[in-house]
Chain A
Amino acid sequence: MSRFRPPVWFVLLLPAIIILAAVVLIPLILSFYSSFTPYKLTRPDTLYKWIGTFNYEKAIKSTHFWAAFGRTVLLLTIALNLEMLMGLGLALLVNKVTYGQRALRTIMMFPMMFSPVLVGFQFKFIFNDNVGLVNNALQSLGLTDKAIPWLVDGQLAFIAILTAEMWSATSVFAILILAGLFAVPRDPIEAAKVDGCTPWQSFRHITLPYIMPFIYIALAIRSLDVARAYDIVQIMTNGGPARRTELLWTLIGRTGYIDAKMGYANAMGYISIFLAIFFTVYFFRKLNAARSELGMAG
């Protein structure tokens, strides 16, 4: 009579596990397999031809790949750090406000509502060399009479993309860090003031350790979907012109869909997945460390 009854938690988690397996895990296994084949969309039979690690070797030898990889890591590093710093600054500014803080907080959430595509489009418009807000303003102020090619020049385009990315994500940091600032008890800060700390010292020694977990949460959440930057770049430059703003993700998309080299694209896709997982795991570990530092663990 003893029928096997699975534990309740397992039943409750089952739908989530099934859907994630179907939509994420199985395709990932497939793409892992196909990364060892010369699979091309246009020739389905190539899916059954095993070529070993050829695609990975090809990627590792490709200068295009390394340029895109380097550019991606550079963009992520600069963007995440600047967003964190500016988010921290913004949160501190808003935290100091006593009157009208609710309104400011609401304004602060504004960029979070914009989908990345919209951000990309918005900044494509703003940085447009002909009708963009930036060039219009520069010309009207008499700072230049040329149309600065923001989205054509490689370095300028990088700056434009970075600006768009930061505009869209800084507020995520600011909101979460602000929540952290609210959670900082007032007493230790005042004790530090009495103990002789300058405002900078009490921030450095007391406030910062308190909000570190919140900063890492923000970094972890952000690194979960850094790849959203793909949307922005795809709209603004699509990696162009002439690969000058090529990121890993745009390179993958182009290789897979335009060149139809699915196997090769999947191989690079795997590299990008490990990059994302690396960032996420790294910040989660930092979060746990910061939490136990404050005695919040458990």
Chain B
Amino acid sequence: MAQVHLRDVVKKYGAIQVVHGIDLEIQDNEFVVLVGPSGCGKSTTLRMIAGLEDISGGEITIGDRVVNDLPPRHRNISMVFQNYALYPHMTVRENLGFSLKIAKRPQDEIDRAVDEAAGILSLAEYLDRKPGELSGGQRQRVAMGRAIVRHPEVFLFDEPLSNLDAKLRTQMRTEIKKLHQKVKSTIVYVTHDQVEAMTLADRIVIMRDGHIEQVGTPLDVFESPANTFVATFIGSPPMNLLRGRITGDTISLTDGPLISLPPQFASNVADGQDVILGFRADNLMPVGHAMPMEGAYAEFKMTVNLSEPLGTETLLFGALAGKEVQAKMLNPRPLQNGEQLQFQLDLTRCHLFDAQTEQSLR
């Protein structure tokens, strides 16, 4: 049983506070991804769980044990580092078996564990090489192998894929997901890449400036972002955000058209309230070039300044309410720049945020 609980965890460097009282409960066998822009405190949080950084306040428990002051070796964790952190003077075999050798396990047990890990990660033919003779992807696999030989209670991943090229990254992402299904352990994974977070996580923790902005399943955070930050951070392209004011049962967009109030927010807003309307490109489509919309929708004209064909769909860049807005077209046809089209906005998939607090009004 290896739940990880963080209670009001704080990290300060002198007078500078980088993590502001984080609360997080991670279940046994859960795959949790900490995601956020650089400097948001996600790596620091991970390193505090690992015991590589002291905590300045609060409490961390792994299993049933409080581990606040325990050194990493007493925490029964293993970690995969961004730069692999392989021991350059040891062969792959020695790298993999190092932790067991330190723990003074018998040699035959070490050999068995190393062979097993090498099998899982298809490293068998490289066992007698040194890290310097391996490619980036192979080093990454050795780093993961080193983590799994010990069968720890918790795996920690610190941006493990950020040094790989795009193709390898996709491939390793799948391998990590498979690995989790095979080894059945609690995983805490840090990344700044929201695609990685979405594809890997059971639950995503979105962080900014040392605070947790939202915790939820990938679909949760995608479909009901708690605030404008999460709305723009998760999903690609980022959510369109337009300022406006509630007037009766419409939203009057600043320097833009009137749009009827999305029905799901009707009871949550007051007349005259300043709001931010959010919608994704997938929910704004030109009439006649997509499936016709059902339910509540708004219609308006918009000039298309630029289009990016992506194959199955085309991304359109237009201007609405003085801001650049992205839309999608499913049945593509060649477009002229500056062409004006009639658009439909799916109101049931829209989001409303308070203009001051930037929190969701749902």
Give residues in A with beta carbon < 8 Å to B: 185, 187-188, 190-198, 201, 205-206, 209-210, 293-295
Contact = CB atoms under 8 A, between A and B. Distances in A.
Given A188-B86, A190-B50, 9 more contacts: A185-B85, A190-B72, A191-B85, A194-B79, A195-B73, A195-B99, A196-B150, A201-B102, A293-B89
Contacts of A210: 89
Interface of B: 50-52, 71-73, 77-79, 81-89, 98-99, 102-103, 130-132, 146, 150, 156
A201 B88 CA distance: 16
A251 B51 CA distance: 59
A210 B86 CA distance: 13
A290 to B, nearest CB: 9
B89 A195 contact: no
26 contacts: A185-B83, A187-B82, A188-B85, A188-B88, A190-B50, A190-B52, A191-B81, A191-B146, A192-B87, A192-B98, A193-B51, A193-B72, A194-B72, A194-B78, A195-B78, A195-B98, A195-B102, A195-B150, A198-B73, A205-B98, A210-B89, A293-B89, A294-B89, A295-B89, A295-B130, A295-B131
Contacts of A205: 87, 98, 102
Contact of B89 (A190, A192, A209): A209
Contact of B77 (A185, A194, A201): A194
Contacts of B52: 190, 193-194
Contacts of A197: 73, 102
A3 B313 CA distance: 74
A195 B52 CA distance: 12
Given A194-B50, A197-B102, A201-B102, A188 B72 contact: no
Contacts of A195: 73, 78, 98-99, 102, 146, 150
A212 B83 CA distance: 22
Main secondary structure of the interface of A (DSSP, over half): helix
Nearest to A188: B85
B317 to A, nearest CB: 42
Contacts of A209: 89
Contacts of B156: 194
A191 B147 CA distance: 9
4 pairs of A and B residues whose beta carbons are closest in the complex: A187-B85, A195-B99, A295-B132, A191-B85
A196 B88 contact: no
B73 A196 contact: yes
B102 A196 contact: yes
Contacts of A201: 102
Nearest to A191: B85
A168 to B, nearest CB: 33
A197 B52 CA distance: 13
B78 A206 contact: no
A192 B81 CA distance: 11
Contacts of A191: 79, 81, 85-87, 146
Contacts of A192: 87, 98
A197 B102 CA distance: 6
A188 B98 CA distance: 12
A188 B73 CA distance: 14
A190 B85 contact: yes
Contacts of A188: 85-88
Given A188-B85, A209-B89, A196 B132 contact: no
A191 B87 CA distance: 9
A39 to B, nearest CB: 53
Contacts of B146: 191, 195
B73 A193 contact: yes
A192 B103 CA distance: 12
Nearest to A189: B85
Contacts of B132: 295
Nearest to B132: A295
A295 B91 CA distance: 11
Contacts of B85: 185, 187-188, 190-191
B168 to A, nearest CB: 20
Tell me which of B86, B88, B150 has the highest count of chain A C-beta atoms within 10 A of its own C-beta: B88
Contacts of A194: 50-52, 72-73, 77-79, 156
A187 B81 contact: yes
A194 B130 CA distance: 21
Contacts of A198: 73
Tell me which of A188, A198, A294, A295 has the highest count of chain B C-beta atoms within 10 A of its own C-beta: A188
Contacts of B71: 193
Contacts of B89: 209-210, 293-295
A198 B102 CA distance: 9
Nearest to A206: B87
A52 to B, nearest CB: 51
B92 to A, nearest CB: 13
B99 A196 contact: yes
A72 B73 CA distance: 46
A198 B150 CA distance: 16
B83 A187 contact: yes
Contacts of A187: 81-85
Contacts of B51: 193-194
Given A187-B85, A206-B87, A196 B130 contact: no
Contacts of B50: 190, 194
Contacts of A293: 89
Contacts of A190: 50, 52, 72, 79, 81, 85
A196 B76 CA distance: 8
A295 B131 CA distance: 9
